[in-house]
Each structure stands twice: as structure tokens, then as C-alpha cells.
Structure 1
Amino acid sequence: MTDPDSTFDSAAELLGRITEQLGSRLGQVRPYGHAPRRPPRKHDEEAHPPMTAPTLVAVGHGSRDPRARATLARLLDRVRELRPGLDVRLAHIELNAPLLDETLADLAAGGRDAVLVPLLLAPGHHVTHDLPAAVAAAPAHARVADPLGAHPLLVEALADRLAEAGWTPGEGDGVVLASAGSRDPRSGAEIRRIAALLGERLGGVPVVPAYASAAAPTVPDALRALAARGRHRVAVASCFTAPGLFATRAAAHAPWIASAPLGAHPALARLVLHRYDRSRTARTTTPARELAAI
């Protein structure tokens, strides 16, 4: 026969355990509107930048080729997708609207700070003089980021564009890296670094820099130099952010294939944001007026 006292004790013990567990669960519940705050995570800030984040002004050179502005607009659409909520604008040094001084005046009128990201490959006259001079003359508070330059993301985009054009490893491979050119020796040094990184990315293929203006060698000269080394299967890699006169001329010299300009490549969009972020966080950014004096 079952002992009634034993049955009662077991039921009481079970009820006690249930009550204890329920109390523990209820202790973790917060009243409505009082959920515990967690510290913000880095990816939250990147996906939803604070309203105080400066405007990212991507600065293109400008071109009479109507494809250029449309291409850069698509690139900035990718940047906005990567950083929702960030104010991203396109401006030009010349030839296309909006011009940079107009954009800076508009930002100043709205009380907005800005970071100028040059859509240029190397530190030539536009980067070291024109952009800082525009900032110094503008009422807006702005700083100039580094040009796109020798970076793995840029090399990724160059290699992908070559692959899209039909690049495959083979006998007698060579690449001419075609860019705009500049008389500034720092520009040539940067393009040579890009060429070296691209050669490594392609498995040791010789990559010779060449220029559409202001510097040597030209694309035909670089092609002849590679031919003298026994390289007869040569591609032209277009180191331009958008279509234009120089990119078209460089591609026309290609004896085999020529890649398209970098355009709205996803890696280039990431590189634009990388330059923006570095400029925002760098404590040693050179003031615009100092750059203008270089």
C-alpha cells in the first residue's frame, strides 16, 4: 500500500523544483522597454553608420566619354550597398558635373564634413595639389584620403578583369599595365608597385607598366620590350577606373586581349570604403594646406 505521506512529500518536492526553475526564468525577464543593452559591434557601425559620419565624396577626374560618369555612378551604388546610411556623393575635377567645388559648397551649406576619396590610382598632381587646393578654398571641413594605389583589393580587381577578357596562363605570357601617367615620380613608383603585385597574383608573369601620357614607356614601347624578352602572348591590363580616351587608346594597342577598366568591380567598392575609413581614423593625416604646398 502506498504511503500517503511519501506521496505528498514527492509531490511537494516536484512542485518545489518547478517553482525554483520558474523563478529563475522569470528573473531573466526585463519589463517592456528595459531590455539589457549590449555594446555596439563593429559590423553594426559599418552597416549603420552614425549620422555624424562625414560624407564620402568620391572624386573622379572627369571625361568626355559619357560612359565614364555612368560607370562611376554604378561603382558608388556598390559602395552604398556595402555601407547603408552613409552619405556617398560623386564629384569631378573637371569636364563633368557635379564639379568638386560645387559639391563642397553644397556640403558646407548643410553643415556636413567630408572625406574626399580620389578615384585615381597614384599620387600625381591632382591628388597632391588640385584636391587639397579645392579643400583649402572651400568653406566645408574636409580631408583628402589616399588614392586607390597599390593594394590587394585593386590587384584583385585587375586580375578579375583580365580573366573576364580571356586571360589564361600559357607560354610566352606577359602583361602591360596601362595607366594615365604623371610627371610626379611618386606616381610612377606607385604604378610599379601595382605592376609587381599583379605579377605575383598571376604567378610570376612579367608585368610592365606603361603610360598614356606624361611618362614613359608608352604602351607600344612596353609591348616591344616584352617581345624582345620572348613574350609574344601579351595582354593589356587597363589600370583605369572608368572608360575614357586613355583607356580606349591603350586597349587599341593590345596584340592579344585588353581588359576592361576597373569600373564597378566589388573589390574596388571595398577599396573606396577602406580609403575612407583609414582617412577618418588616421591621426596623422596631412592637412590639406600642407599637401597643397608640396
Structure 2
Amino acid sequence: MSFDSWIGTPTLVLAVPGVAGDTDGIGAQMVDLLRSYRPEVTIRVGCIEGSDDRLTEALADLEPVDEHPLRGVVVPLVTAPHPATDQAISEAIEATGADVRVTDGLGPHPMLAEVLHLRLAEAGFVRADRMRLISVVAPSTTMTDGVIVGAVGGPDAVSAAGVTAVLLAARLGITVLPADLEDDSSVEQVRRQIADAGCVRPVIAPSIVGPEFDTERLKALAERYEARYSAPLGASSTLAKIAALRYAEVLNSVGVEAPATADELPSPVGSRHRPES
């Protein structure tokens, strides 16, 4: 439910980490997917780095307007708290004076485990169907027996990835633990933990949209710790659905903050509500 009838349809701005040319069209793909959930909303993409498709350009004409409580909603295209993205969004809003609200990122959210499972299945590391009460480990050496859910953004991001790891472990029936991809000691520690749990075919599953962490760095990390890796989450219908939910949450909160008073409500009609004579 949203309060579109009261506040109109604020522009939805996707804040994408990185440079426009390095995002592999993730922003544009997400816009197309989002339109199936919010066809009435103007959707824009703004990158936090580079000179093209800058976030400041996406926010430029969203200045405050009288009697209009909100001009836009910024949805960070990250799966966890990401300080660099948060700071860039704050700076862009301050520079443009845009009348917008910023949502949480796309995670933590239960549906992220579903997308991570899909990426692992696409790479042939786990079975695609959801397991119940049995292990997905098979004699084939392509199947993994332990997953490291990679996070980017510091301790808060690792904490969010931990939620996804728990849900993914429940789906797969194997050891799944979170680690900070930007901290070698974190990855090394988790790699040792899953090895102690009996894992001999580890896989690093980055719980990121993509632009937050370079693919070459991911590849080098996997080689260093004798692990394989799956693709980042990328653009997907599930992530678009979460972004649409974040947008609706803001609209709903705006409506809650300014509820109609008793005097503003229409008078009841009908025989039961006739004024006393």
C-alpha cells in the first residue's frame, strides 16, 4: 500500500556505486525491471562516480515545491550498508538541494538468499531446486560443500551478509558463513572455519549487486584461498521487487507522518448519521 493519491508519485532514483561505464548496464536493467512493479513512477539512474549519468544530474530538478511533501526517493543499489555510497548520496543531495528521502539498501532482506542460491546454481555449484532436510552435496567435484558469503562495506555489511548466510544455509543444508571481501584476515578466518567444518570445495558467493567490488579482485581472492566463486547478484527481478518495496515504505511513512485530522475527514452519511433534531 502507498499514499500516492496524497503525495503524488515522487521520482525513484537508483543510486549506483561506481562509474557509469563500469556497471555493465546494471542501472538501466534495473530500471526496466522496476517498471513492472511501479509503471506509474518516473525512474532515474545516478552513478556516484565518473562524469556520466551522475547522481547530481538525476537529482538536479527535484527541488522543494510548495504543497508537495516529497519530490523523490533515492534507493541505494547496494545489498548492505555501504559508507562510500551513503556519503556520496548525502553530498549529492546537499549539492543539489533536492527534496528527497533515502531508503535503506536492498539488504538485509530474506529474498537475497534466493538470488544468491540462483547464482550458485547457475555456476553449477549447488542444485537449483530447494533442498528440504537433505544435503545438496554430491559426489561430483563441481558441487560445493561450503559457501563464503562475501560482503563489501565493513562490519555492518558483514552483519547484513550474516542474515543472508543463515537463510542460504537453511536452503542448501551446508556450512555458509559471511566474510568481508575487503579484509583478507576476515576471508582467511572464515576459510579456515569452513575447512574445520569439513569443507573441501569452498565457493565465495559475493552478496553484492556488482559495481561495489571489482571482478578481478574477486577472482584473485578466490585463487589466493583456493576457492571458486559465483557471479555477483547483478540485475534481477527479485532485487527490483525489493527496490520497489523500499520506495513504497517511504511513501507509507510520509502518509503516516501526516495523517488526516478528524476535521479533515468527510462526514458520515446515511440514516444512522443524521444530526439530532
Whether TM exceeds 0.5 here: the answer is yes
The alignment status of 1:170 with 2:141, answered yes or no, reads no
Cross-structure match for 2:182? 213
Q: Contact 1:237–1:258 at 8 Å: present in 2 too?
A: yes
Give the structure with the larger helix fraction: 1
In structure 2, the CA distance between the partners of 1:163 and 1:67, relative to structure 1 (3 Å rule), is farther
In structure 2, the CA distance between the partners of 1:242 and 1:259, relative to structure 1 (3 Å rule), is same
**Which of 274, 277, 281 is the aligned partner of 2:245?**
274
Cross-structure match for 1:71? 26
Q: Could you say what secondary structure the match of 1:59 adopts?
A: strand
1:68-118, Cα deviation, whole Å (9 max, x unpaired): 141231122111133223111111121362221222113339998110001
Q: Contact 1:148–1:272 at 8 Å: present in 2 too?
A: yes
In structure 2, the CA distance between the partners of 1:136 and 1:63, relative to structure 1 (3 Å rule), is closer
The alignment status of 1:157 with 2:137, answered yes or no, reads no
Q: Could you say what secondary structure the match of 2:209 adopts?
A: coil
CA offset at residue 179 of structure 1? Answer: 2.3
Q: Where do residues 186-201 of structure 1 align in structure 2 (5 Å cutoff)?
A: 186-201=156-171
CA offset at residue 261 of structure 1? Answer: 1.4
User: Structure 1: how far apart are the matches of 2:198 and 2:72?
Assistant: 50
CA offset at residue 208 of structure 1? Answer: 1.7
Q: How many residues in Structure 1 have an aligned counterpart in Structure 2?
A: 237
Cross-structure match for 1:179? 151
The alignment status of 1:62 with 2:18, answered yes or no, reads yes
Cross-structure match for 2:48? 93
Q: Contact 2:81–2:153 at 8 Å: present in 1 too?
A: no
In structure 2, the CA distance between the partners of 1:221 and 1:250, relative to structure 1 (3 Å rule), is farther
**Which of 69, 72, 86 is the aligned partner of 1:114?**
72
- What's the TM-score, normalizing by structure 1? 0.69
Among all aligned residue pairs of Structure 1 and Structure 2, give the percentage whose two residues are the same amino acid. Answer: 32
The alignment status of 1:237 with 2:205, answered yes or no, reads yes
In structure 2, the CA distance between the partners of 1:256 and 1:124, relative to structure 1 (3 Å rule), is closer
Q: Where do residues 10-25 of structure 1 align in structure 2 (5 Å cutoff)?
A: none
1:195-220, Cα deviation, whole Å (9 max, x unpaired): 222222223x22121223258513x5
Is the radius of gyration larger for structure 1 or structure 2? 1
Q: Contact 2:12–2:43 at 8 Å: present in 1 too?
A: yes
What letter matches 1:207 in structure 2? V
